[in-house]
Structure 1
């Protein structure tokens, strides 16, 4: 059995049929070919035959547990490069550390979230593709460099005792652009191959005059036609007098080195991106837990205020009126705080991936309510100018809220840092067949070096920021068939514009 041409194979290993069904439904339709095994022996047999790209491996299985399966996979050269992600109800640090130490690349605790499993599987599949591409490219580049070294003829100059060119091969003429008829008998330094490089020219003088050896791995040579050429050169004295200078074109070798470095940088960025995703996931779970815990005492405060209202009947009229007013205020503020907590819980929940028809004006009003606390902290107002003839859009409500809230919070923080008293302006409008919203602030604006790579991961102008908000926002917008762009505010500050395609029914 070989890998399916339609996509990578993934082996699901769990002794619980229900868990296998959940995993199948989670990954079904994601472009991967799914295989299953109910125990360790079957997992090893299937992995040996099918050689899947990735294994989702349960730890607690009868007989051979997941840790032993992983150890045996890594000990076999045929299966050692298969990516292993552990799935387990064991959440202690010791189990996680052990799983990673024996060759697993990730550890997902049960009960798991379906979208989290899919996201991690996709990330590790992508990392594996990059690793394989990097390994192939590395081998190709090494072979290519060797072929270049073996095949390329070097340019050779023979010099007499006075440093004049006494001989040269065809490759030397080709590299320098100097025909033999013009170069023979001329002083080597008179060819002016390295203008402006005083150190190298001095070394060439010592070679010509005293036979002092030289070696330089990289220098920029200027051909007779004025074009630059990257070369390596070496020179040594001849026993019969004079010297020999050897030139080698290294332009292609340098380009290959740059390509290899770029591939390595891409790999590092993917690993950093995975680490940031993990931290963001943990932070979201913590925020949801805090919201849940705070909401309970707030509910209790509201209930106690209602009970106290019923007890007011036995008090004198004057005291009853004052206490009634106080209790009303307690109830209003508790309900208001509870609403803030509820909005926070809705925001940090993992997106369901389900899309629906969305009224952008209504969505932005909800986002402004969610940003109310930040508005007070930054002492910055936010005003919404909603277009009345706006078409609906189709998308994931939570993801679009994430984009809008990120832009509004950035705008408030920039406005507060600049000491501006002008409000952040949020507006909706149709333009060029798209449904758009704009966030404009009158804050500090962006430095030019930040503008040039604004939507790149881990680029930020905020102290302590991670620099992934705008990168994630761009990915979300492009995933909805739209885009996000930046403009400098002529009055100082920044303007971000998001564009969505309208619903088909509204077109």
Structure 2
């Protein structure tokens, strides 16, 4: 029984036979599957054929060094998500900072301590498994949400969507709460152990040769400093996931029975957070720039969960439009953009404009955009329900207006207008 899947393995990249022997022995002793590459070029070639679970990458190698190898691996969509741990004798801050900036997740100092190698490998394999598990859960839930859209229109129960997204937020919140709650005591324990070690050094300034050798082999001073840096990185990561979980909960607020004053800017920001993975650049296009031109908008009397659904549908359509424009090389600007503008008009209505710089929509299609089941997307790419749901929420639920302005080659703008104060309370 190995510590990776039946087909998974760890790739060791190092040109030094002694280093390879030590790493191979360490991994083999714990039952890890592994393969070996002796330079950056052959490592990249191997990864393109078979993707490893984790890469242990030497920094100083002939040909392209570890930094350049890492840069190329992270630039390739096939390998950009594979965790890379640098193995190096370089202890200067500049080298470590460069490695982390290139996308590495950790460093293992040379000479190697077998226990440290195994510990760090285990941690990052587990983190990768947790990440993939969370991504799969979100993907499964997203698929369920899409199937539920027809039911939402038929039954007028948009709260179902909120319950599903709240479920995703709950599933994310449980493991991240466990991690976040355990970091402070872990930090306290490490600080305590560090203090005891320092006291030992003061009380027994002349340790035995066996202890001196062990300290030098571990590079104790570096490890004591690096442990706190690793803890800080874990804190930052857990805080980021907690923010995502909060955005999901804000997005899915279940308030279908009552209107209440709400901050629409918060709803827009929560929706953009959920769509962040689609706004990021990929092999087909650069990142989509989101420009927020937020005005002085008071709290608006509305069903905030339903308004978030409107924002989601329109923003997702804008991203689709930009993807299509770039694929056809017809974007109206070199940088794909979405501009969100908010203001209060003279009639004391909240006005939210969401505009993209894609190809625009022909006049004949504009007239049918809000019809249920009407879609211009290929089979399997759209249900034709998103804009009809948005129209129903804005016009029927909020006594507002949903308008579209578009010119071919100039992009598309959707304008949402709803009264700040509900006529019925």
TM-score where L is the length of structure 2: 0.49
State the structure with bigger RCO (CA 8 A, min sep 6), 1 or 2: 2
Report which of the two structures shows the higher radius of gyration computed on alpha carbons: 1
Instruction: Give 1 or 2: higher strand fraction.
Output: 1
- Give TM-score, length-normalised by structure 1: 0.41
